[in-house]
Amino acid sequence: MNTVLPDALRPLTPLIEAHLGAAVQGGARLQGGDISAAYRLRTTRGEFVLKAARPTGGTHLPLYAPEAEGLALLRAVGPLAVPDVIAFGEGPGGWQYLLLSYLPPADDTPALHGALGRGLAALHARPAPGFGGTPDNLFGSLPQQNLAAGSAAEFFWHSRLLPQLERAGAALGAADRARFAELRERLPRLIPPEPPSLVHGDLWHGNLLFTVRGPALIDPAAAFSHREVDLAAMRLFGGVPGQVFAAYAGALPPAEGWEDRAALWNLYPLLAHVNMFGAGYLARTREALEAALRLPERWAGD
């Protein structure tokens, strides 16, 4: 850890040191980060994590206030570990930043897999006041609405699928939009009626950590929604051990057929990937849409 920060970010160093009341002694880039660059910092007070980005594309979204709010929600409900928020804001050169506590990694073990599944079940079992209703935040780099809704289907359509469909514009053809209109009509009868839960909202394997404090969640897109959102996200890109799902089901069994409904819930992150990264995600989005339309209508709906 010989490099403190890359040249473009070095103007942030005095600000970071002021927040910490400590000197930055070294830094190393962490893996990942399509939206932000993340650095593990060594300081005279110990180790911390710095996330930093300069908004582009003509927008100036507050990148880290929503993430800090989501971490606070997850921390208040528990029981999984989340990093502590030290500070966030905007520094010199238009750089936005988020300063977090560092959670040292632990060995990836079956015991931690089970703890993650049970912890996620405990998170989802806590009562939530209703679907939506939290401040709007971000999914990746995209604005994410959290409108109050009377049902999971209403929330999923109006705050998740519809904004992404509108953003996609010409990327989706008339046939695609007709199939989404069909899904909209059927949606209330495809989703098992359950009370709302606080969900992480972007729970792919890269946002799960195994640490000395136990399983930890990072980079949330938190909301009050249907708990299957998180289960589906863990299946989207793979990498989550089966013991996690088994432990979850042992603590809080999902409704029958949840694995098949993963395609339905994952339409949201797939559409968001189309809008963030391009048409390379269209084929998988269409496959998920057709899988969702094949789901049986098990429930009476709204």
User: Which residues touch 208 (CB under 8 Å, ≥6 apart)?
Assistant: 116, 215, 216, 217, 218, 234, 240
- DSSP H helices in the chain: 13-20, 65-77, 110-125, 152-155, 162-168, 174-186, 228-236, 242-251, 258-265, 267-277, 282-293
With 0-12 CB in 10 A as exposed, 13-18 as middle and 19+ as buried, what is 124? buried
Q: Is the dihedral of CA 100, 148, 233, 36 positive or negative?
A: negative
| Catalytically annotated residue among 136, 202, 260, 302 | 202
Q: Whole-angstrom Cα distance, residue 154 to residue 275?
A: 22
Q: Whole-angstrom Cα distance, residue 27 to residue 25?
A: 7
With 0-12 CB in 10 A as exposed, 13-18 as middle and 19+ as buried, what is 65? middle
Known active-site residue 302? no
* Residue 226: Cβ within 10 Å count: 26
Query: Which tokens sit at 67?
Result: 């993430």
User: Which residues touch 57 (CB under 8 Å, ≥6 apart)?
Assistant: none
Q: Whole-angstrom Cα distance, residue 173 to residue 65?
A: 35
Q: Which amino acid is at 232?
A: A
- Nearest CA to 248 out of 237, 259, 264, 238 is that of 259
Active-site residue set: 202
